[in-house]
Amino acid sequence: METFTPRTFSTDWEMLVFDRLGRMVGTDKLVPFAGALRDELGLPITVDWNALEYTAGVNASYAQFRERLWRFTERASQFLREYELDLYPAAAHPVEAMVQSGHIHVGTITDETTAIRLENQLYHYMPAFAALAANSPVMQGMRGEYKSYRVRHRAGRCARPGSIRDPHSAQWEWGTDASAKVYGVPTVEIRIPDGPSSRCFLAEFATFVAAFVHQQGTKVREERPAQAEYREYLLNRWAAAKYGLQATFCWDGQPRPVAEILDEMLDDCADGLRALGVSRAELALIARMLDKRVCQADWAMTLVERYDDPYLLASAIAKMLRHWDAFDDYLATAAPLDPLPFPDEETILAAHLETIGEGTHFYNTRSAMNFPPPDADAVIAQLERRGAISRELSPERGLTLSRIEE
């Protein structure tokens, strides 16, 4: 069965633009730049909420996608620099409430029922893509505790865990990690990846995602994922945000390093890659990342550790990325990182306890790992049995929780 006909893919790559003082350039001033680049390059480049958005058009091959990407990055960098402006290709700003992605659109799909079933099937794999693309170790005053704060905090509700949907009782839904979007551009949109800092990574990653989704489209299951598989997805999503390529996932009930899972996924989509005119061996940057368990967030952390001032940090990142190869060069000499343990029960409890202060509404704990109600309530009950929290029920606020300090 061929779900995608023809096999196509694209990206929406969002990037802030800074002036020479490190200030963000707003939407009204970006519109003329987007228009000029759109006219010159013949690509649907646009602006989305204070960000320049590179939309790569419809692509049928790795070579086509890469050629367009190189043309855009070379011309956009040169054009903006004429006005003393710099692109900021990173997934989050250290202070401002701005998060950016490199969404991947995988097409062409017009059967919404099949698209919804495929969406359910893809959630299992979304955390692996998140780990590979992790690139936001700073966001709005937070730094260094997560490799992807953007994924951890659901990108301001623009990239959030998906619910398992039944096509027979489903409404249109937008903004989940994998979203069927047949109403307009007929694609499955993969929204979980952080915005990339390396154009080489984006070229390889977008092609990998497209090939894998195309391959999954040849074996779409009608049955929905079981409860245990859904819980694994949520746990793995948290681990990906926390540890990037050092994460260990729960994979079919067993702990497995995410780098090994991605390696296996690359093998599984060999036919899909071939259809897009590329072999696995040509995705050399990703191969090196998996071998070393090093992601873009690990490069960014070298600057996070150097610059305490968040605006100086953002400016340094923008300047380092002017020539597009800062991460690639870092990766060539970076030391391999070891995989970290899968989050056990104590880690799960600790992550939930972090969300509880004094009089915290119980629903705030859902933000820890996005567990569905039975699992989330079981965690709260366990914390209460341990004497770590107390609960209070009032008509005014409902159920609130308070941490009990030792």
Give the pTM. Answer: 0.97
Residue 184 within any structural domain of the chain: yes
Same domain for 167 and 272? yes
Residue 339 within any structural domain of the chain: no
Q: For residues 379 and 7, give the distance between their C-alpha atoms in angstroms, rounded to a whole number.
A: 43
Q: Could you give the number of structural domains in the chain?
A: 2
Same domain for 179 and 322? yes
Same domain for 205 and 287? yes
Same domain for 225 and 281? yes
pLDDT in tens, 190-226: 999 999 999 999 999 999 999 999 999 999 999 999 9
pLDDT at 1 over 80: no
Residue 214 bridge partners (DSSP): none
> In sequence order, which residues have a C-beta less than 8 Å from that of residue 84 and are 6 or more positions away?
19, 20
Residue 3 within any structural domain of the chain: no
Counting residues of the chain whose pLDDT is more than 90, the rounded percentage is 94
Q: For residues 12 and 195, give the distance between their C-alpha atoms in angstroms, rounded to a whole number.
A: 9
CB 168 within 8 A of CB 329: no
Residue 338 within any structural domain of the chain: no
- Torsion angle defined by CA atoms of residues 197, 199, 202 and 205, in that order, rounded to the nearest 10 degrees: -110
Q: Give me the count of residues in the chain.
A: 406
pLDDT in tens, 304-352: 999 999 999 999 999 999 989 999 999 999 999 999 999 999 999 999 9
Same domain for 23 and 113? yes
Q: What is the mean pLDDT of the chain?
A: 96
What are the CA-CA distances from residue 392 to residues 34, 221, 356, 360 (Å)?
53, 44, 13, 10
Q: What is the domain extent for residue 134?
A: 8-333
Q: Which residue reads 């061996």 in tokens? A: 281
Residue where one domain finishes, among candidates 279, 298, 333: 333
Residue 175 within any structural domain of the chain: yes
Same domain for 107 and 189? yes
Query: Looking at residue 80, which CATH number applies to its domain?
Result: 3.30.590.20
Residue 356 within any structural domain of the chain: yes
Q: For residues 14 and 259, give the distance between their C-alpha atoms in angstroms, rounded to a whole number.
A: 26
Same domain for 268 and 384? no
Residue 228 within any structural domain of the chain: yes
pLDDT at 111 over 90: yes
Residue where one domain finishes, among candidates 333, 354, 373: 333
Q: In terms of DSSP H, where are the helices of 183-283?
A: 199-216, 227-243, 258-268, 270-275
Q: Which amino acid is at 205?
A: F
Same domain for 306 and 247? yes
> In sequence order, which residues have a C-beta less than 8 Å from that of residue 64 and are 6 or more positions away?
none
Residue 67 within any structural domain of the chain: yes
Same domain for 175 and 45? yes
pLDDT at 250: 96
Same domain for 235 and 365? no
Same domain for 267 and 384? no
The b/e string for 138-153 (b: 16+ C-beta within 10 A; e otherwise) is: bbbeebeebbbbbbbb
Query: Looking at residue 372, which CATH number applies to its domain?
Result: 1.10.10.10
Same domain for 270 and 395? no
